[in-house]
Amino acid sequence: MKSVQEPVNLLDFDRQGLVSFFDDLGEKPFRATQILKWVHQAGVTNFSLMSNLSKSLRNYLEEHCTISAPKIAFDAIASDGTRKWLLEMACGNRVETVFIPESGRGTLCVSSQVGCSLACTFCSTAQQGFNRNLSVAEIIGQLFVAQQLLGEQQKISNIVMMGMGEPLLNFNNVVAAMNLMMDDFAYGLSKRRVTLSTSGIVPAIYRLTEACDVSLAVSLHAPNDELRNQLVPINKKYPLKELLEACRHYVKSAPRRHITFEYVMLAGINDSESDARALVRLLKKISCKVNLIPFNPFPGSDYQCTSNNGVQKFRDILHRSGLVVTVRKTRGEDIDAACGQLVGKVADKSRRTQKIKLIKAEHAA
């Protein structure tokens, strides 16, 4: 019996991908621009309404293609206006996407994986295990859905790849999605307004240097290898010396690039005055900004957030040394939409959730 071929999801293509797709059909490259504008700017998903395409091409697209974004499983708005969507993929897994409205800007936090294959101990997402990478359509689909729901009232001005997953472990799909975010005929965002956050996949940082010009945020969270090995285990593979060298290379290759080091504040773990001074020594030769993040608790976590006074003392030490420092304002905490709280629904293929349960049971015994 002949199998029925799945329709091609045009959300899976950036401009170059669409050019290649239409070239295979014998169509001119400008068809890619037309589709980008219809889909990403006008929000049109019905091919029959794309009036500047030939009737024969519209008929072909209707028969062989689709424009399919993730489905909304849950929609919640926090007391501070932060909005969180639980989006369901075709396979049944779910990821979370968060919109943070602020004065003069609106930031969308986008996921790149179902779960996360890394095991950062202070992150709720990391405790859920890992299922798979998201496709380009599933990544850009989060922006597509959010823009449709927010409408003209709330504009998305900034994108941060800081949702569920490690973006650099889904390199090709994430880069293609970011290309769409910055394409003038799609979402037209400035490269300064698109930020990728990584736990420190060193080879991929070098690769990103050549592939895509966006701002970089690095989840640092410790001033030395010993502590970072505990908090961010990927550090055992890519220690601080290698990571910081890759960061220097990323900035030097394009002087106007921005790099931010993220540092979650954990009471009694990484928030002492000596930790602050060690962080100063670590970053003193890198042009960067440090973003201090109050820890957001989640069920099963053994960590506590540093007090407000402790965060300010830590900030002051960094500031007096000449570092540019900000303290992230916690948003969406009452709907579990704050940094490190995103969970989704993950069919864990890594078996991490099972291992965590066994470890906790052993300690309880």
- Which of the residues are catalytic? 96, 339
Burial (CB count within 10 angstroms: exposed 0-12, middle 13-18, buried 19+), residue 104? exposed
Q: Per-residue DSSP letters for 318-335?
A: HHHTT-EEEEPPP-SGGG
| Spatial contact of 229 and 130, defined as CB atoms under 8 Å apart | no
Provide the phi-psi class of 268: left if phi over 0, else alpha when psi is between -120 and 50, else beta: left
DSSP annotation of 262 reads E
Positive or negative: CA dihedral 133, 298, 331, 91: positive
DSSP annotation of 236 reads G
Report helix angle 171-182 to 15-24, nearest 10.
Answer: 100
Q: Which distant-in-sequence residues (6+ apart) come within 8 Å of 169 by Cβ?
A: 113, 117, 118, 133, 201, 204
Strand partners, 219: 262
Closest listed residue to residue 112, CA positions, set 69, 167, 71:
167
Identity at 43, one-letter amino acid code: G
Dist CA 238 CA 243 (whole Å): 6
Dist CA 286 CA 281 (whole Å): 10
| Cα 317 off chain centre by | 30
Percent composition of the chain: helix, strand, coil (DSSP 3-state, to 5): 40, 20, 40
Token pair belonging to 345: 């629904």
Strands in 206-354 per DSSP E: 215-219, 259-265, 289-294, 324-327
Dist CA 72 CA 38 (whole Å): 22
